[in-house]
Amino acid sequence: MTDSSQNSLIQRLPKAELHLHIEGSFEPELMMQLAARNRIDLRFKTLDEAKAAYNFSNLQEFLDLYYEGMQVLRTEEDFHDLTWAYLQRAAQDNVRHVEMFFDPQAHTERGVPFGVVTEGILAALARGEKELGVTSYLILSFLRHLSEDDGFALLKESEGWHDRFVGVGLDSSEMGHPPLKFERLYKRCREMGFKLCMHAGEEGPPAYVREALIEIGVDRIDHGNRSMEDPALIQILKDTQTPLTNCPLSNLSLCVINDLKDSPVKAQLEAGLLVTVNSDDPAYFGGYIARNYEKTAEALGLSDAQLITLAHNSFTASFLPEAGKQKHLAAIDAAVA
Ligand code: ADE
Ligand code: ZN
């Protein structure tokens, strides 16, 4: 199949995005607009200056810039505009459902109230469903470089909104902050009925994925690349069909892999794992979801059937109720018929 007909298949496939940090969809154009609106000085004066800085050799270098950029987000309107811009862009790629991470501690720490952040995002999500037909769930993400007590404080601060989150996540600097640092917090979140997600095995060793999966009992592993170093772990992931939310262009930008040809996506598909393709922080890593599918397909020589499986997996791995999953799976079948 030619690249262009495969790209049109990718475009046509209804997709779910399961690994997306809303603050990582902050395009420099919008960042500069909001900086001006809020009268905040940004280190970058031009788009070219901003884009020149988007050159990372590891996760921490990216995170430093990611936290810097989000400082210009101050008002409910800012969070709405950020989220609305993402939803419109995702809809262009035929994303029909998104499960979105947000990092409240990165905002409350600098004095922006939890309610301002959350209400702004929720307003845009409601608008996305109404105007674009894109459904969404919000996932409250804890910053793992902070303490477990800080996580408990966030859980308390967010009490008035708990029914608005489908689950919790764990992101930020992975090395030195293993899943078990948050064992009590995750136990509490499980008791409260939240779905459990965790970034694991992006930079961290397979042992971190094991902790997340076996000791914490997460529902989904974000990234999980380094699971592939541990054959027994691969078998567990296969047997339990625990979803992995892979992010190929992110992996390439953060030097988790040196070349897209080294992406584990094809090997994971062939091993029978429930792998999905996602964009992570698309404004920083050079592409939204369709481009992640396209570049991965091109580098790995994915077949059309494998692309269709990835779209299927995106809904199967979602937190949608069974009937919702079936509706989207049928729409994929109709789109490729
Ligand atoms: N926060 C935003 N993107 C992230 C990533 N890829 N890994 C860890 N934390 C993140
Ligand atoms: Zn991520």
How do the domains of the chain map onto residue ranges? 4-336
How high is the pLDDT of residue 45?
87
Q: Are the beta carbons of 154 and 103 closer than 8 angstroms?
A: no
Under-70 pLDDT residues of the chain: 1-2
How high is the pLDDT of residue 4?
82
Amino acid (one-letter) located at 97: H
Element containing residue 135 per DSSP (H, E): strand 135-143
**CB hemisphere CA count around 262 (13 angstroms):** 11
* Ligand 1 atom closest to residue 250's alpha carbon, by position in its atom list: 6
Ligand nearest to the CA of 245: 2
How high is the pLDDT of residue 241?
98
CA dist list (Å): 6 to 73, 83, 313 = 38, 29, 18
How high is the pLDDT of residue 135?
98
Q: Sort strands 15-21 and 95-102 into parallel, antiparallel or unpaired.
A: parallel
Q: Is 297 left (phi over 0), alpha (psi -120 to 50) or beta?
A: alpha
| Number of CB atoms found within 10 A of residue 43's CB | 10
CA 259 – CA 31 distance, rounded (Å): 29
**What is the pTM assigned to this prediction?**
0.98
How high is the pLDDT of residue 2?
58
> Whose structure tokens read 């997340």?
212
Active site (annotated) includes residue 202: yes
How high is the pLDDT of residue 1?
56
Give the Å distance between the CA of 23 and the centre of ligand 1: 10
Residues around ion ligand 2, judged by CB within 5 A, are 280
How high is the pLDDT of residue 180?
98
Ligand 1 binding pocket (C-beta < 6 A) is 21, 24, 59, 66, 171-172, 199, 202, 250, 280-281
Nearest residue (CA) to ligand 1, atom 8:
172
Percent of the chain residues past pLDDT 90, beyond the cut? 96
φ, ψ for residue 323, nearest 5 deg: -65, -35
From 193, 241, 192, select the one nearest 213 (Cα to Cα): 241
Q: Are the beta carbons of 112 and 74 closer than 8 angstroms?
A: yes
CA 191 – CA 130 distance, rounded (Å): 32
Token couple for 199 = 């970034």
Q: CATH classification of 4-336 is 3.40.50.720, yes or no?
A: no
Q: Are the beta carbons of 252 and 260 closer than 8 angstroms?
A: yes
CA 260 – CA 286 distance, rounded (Å): 13
Give the Å distance between the CA of 1 and the centre of ligand 2: 32
Mutate to test the pocket of ligand 1, among 25, 171, 175, 278 (most ligand atoms within 8 A of CB): 171
Q: Sort strands 275-277 and 244-246 into parallel, antiparallel or unpaired.
A: parallel
